[in-house]
Structure 1
Amino acid sequence: MSFPQKSALTMTAILVVVFGFYFALVLGPVAGTPAPARDFAFTALLILAGAVVVVLAAATHIVLAIVFRREVDAHDERDRLIDLRSTRVAAYILAAGVFGGIGLAMVQADGFWIAQALIAALVVAEIADGLTKLTLYRRGV
């Protein structure tokens, strides 16, 4: 397993776990509260989730870089091609999610739901990026 593959696996797992908890809380108990409290709660949870992702990503990549120090700078053409393909898939998903958010804004949905749609689009696009990388590395593309 190459270093970029380990990195993709780590980041995908972090995003799934952290934002799984985020959406479980926000779409569960937080969604039923009145608007001002709901907006404050989801904003605080989003900032907390972002901070947790940054800390976990930094810590796990430091550990990976220490443990696999010989592989850190070993990138080849295959790594670049896989990165380009996975980024393209993620861009399509992100664009579709943004259009969904724009659609919610056009029908004048509550700002809470527009924000959640846009956050979900970003998270799903990043998870798809990681899963696409892992799939392409497994296939040997």
Structure 2
Amino acid sequence: MTFQEKKSIVSLISVILIFGTYCLYMYPQQPAGGLESTETFRYWGSFVLTLVLVSIVAHIMISIVFNIVYRITTGEKEPGFADELDKLIDLKATRNSFYVFVLGFLAAMGSLVVDQPSQAMFMILIASGFMSEVTGSVTKLYHYRKGV
């Protein structure tokens, strides 16, 4: 298995673990008030902002630990360059990830049009962000395994 495949697998697992752990932590803190209360909007705003910050910090830490463990176990360094195949795979993964997020964004806005509560919009946006990250990791793994 190549370095890129291992990195894609670690990224996929870390996305799932970070998101799942964070949601389990935040779920009990959900306000019990009315669906359109100020507290509800404050909760979802802090949920999204904190999730972004936690994800960034966790991904950086996981990447550093992965590189250290990879170097210790294999004796090889992380490739210092990206060839045309790596760039093409990254572009395809980014494209697929954006497609998923845009579809989720449109679904979230559509939920407001059909008079769903604002909580549904936030849940759809958060889920589409998660699914877009998973899609990007799976796309990279697929293309490194099967080719472009």
What band does the TM-score fall into relative to the shorter chain? 0.7 to 0.9
Summarize the Cα distance change of 1:116–1:132 in structure 2 as closer, same or farther, 3 Å threshold: same
TM-score, length-scaled by structure 1: 0.78
Question: How far apart are residue 103 of structure 1 and its match?
Answer: 0.5
Report the counterpart of residue 56 of structure 1 in structure 2: 58
Q: State the secondary structure of the residue aligned to 1:74.
A: coil
Question: How far apart are residue 23 of structure 1 and its match?
Answer: 4.1
Q: Which ranges in structure 1 are unaligned for 5 or more consecutive residues?
A: none
Q: Per-residue displacement from partner, 1:59-118 (whole Å, max 9, x unpaired)?
A: 122233444473241321111111111112112211211110110111232222111111
Between stretches 48-57 and 120-129, larger displacement belongs to: 48-57
Measure, in 2, the Cα distance between the counterparts of 1:10 and 1:123. 15
Superposition map of 1:1-141 within 5 A = 1-24=1-24, 29=28, 33-34=32-33, 35-66=37-68, 67-68=70-71, 70-141=77-148
Measure, in 2, the Cα distance between the counterparts of 1:20 and 1:37. 23
Identity %: 26
Measure, in 1, the Cα distance between the counterparts of 2:105 and 2:42. 23
RMSD after superposition: 2.6
Q: Which ranges in structure 2 are unaligned for 5 or more consecutive residues?
A: none
TM-score, length-scaled by structure 2: 0.75
